[in-house]
Amino acid sequence: MPDAPLDEHHRITTKAVYTAFRWWWAGNMDEGATRIPHLKTLIAELRLKGHHIETIGGRTWLYRHHINLDITLEVDEWAEKHPK
């Protein structure tokens, strides 16, 4: 079932989520990179919407989410050209 929620132990770093968010923003928003929300703002919004986020060992993790495989390579290529 592709639309089933991921199990509660599945996690991804918020850094990886933010990289994918920056990729999406660059392709969909007119304001450009100067107006992109900061990582802390994105994390705060995710928490407000009820997503499980916690910091473990110096990394912040978002649970029950992943980046779709069909965009992973494109995001990685974009991130190499647009380092933060």
Q: Is residue 4 part of a domain?
A: no
pLDDT digits (tens, 9 = 90+) for 8-60: 788 999 999 999 999 999 888 876 666 889 999 999 999 999 999 999 999 99
Collapse the DSSP code of 6 into the 3-class scheme (helix H, G, I; strand E, B; otherwise coil) and give the result: coil
Measured between alpha carbons, how far apart are the two ends of the chain, in Å?
35
Q: Is residue 26 part of a domain?
A: yes
DSSP, residue by residue, 14-25: HHHHHHHHHHHH
**Cβ(20)–Cβ(75) under 8 Å?**
yes
Structurally, how many domains does the chain consist of? 1
Q: Is residue 1 part of a domain?
A: no
For the entire predicted model, the pTM comes to: 0.82
Q: Is residue 5 part of a domain?
A: no
Question: Residue 58 is part of which domain span?
Answer: 11-81
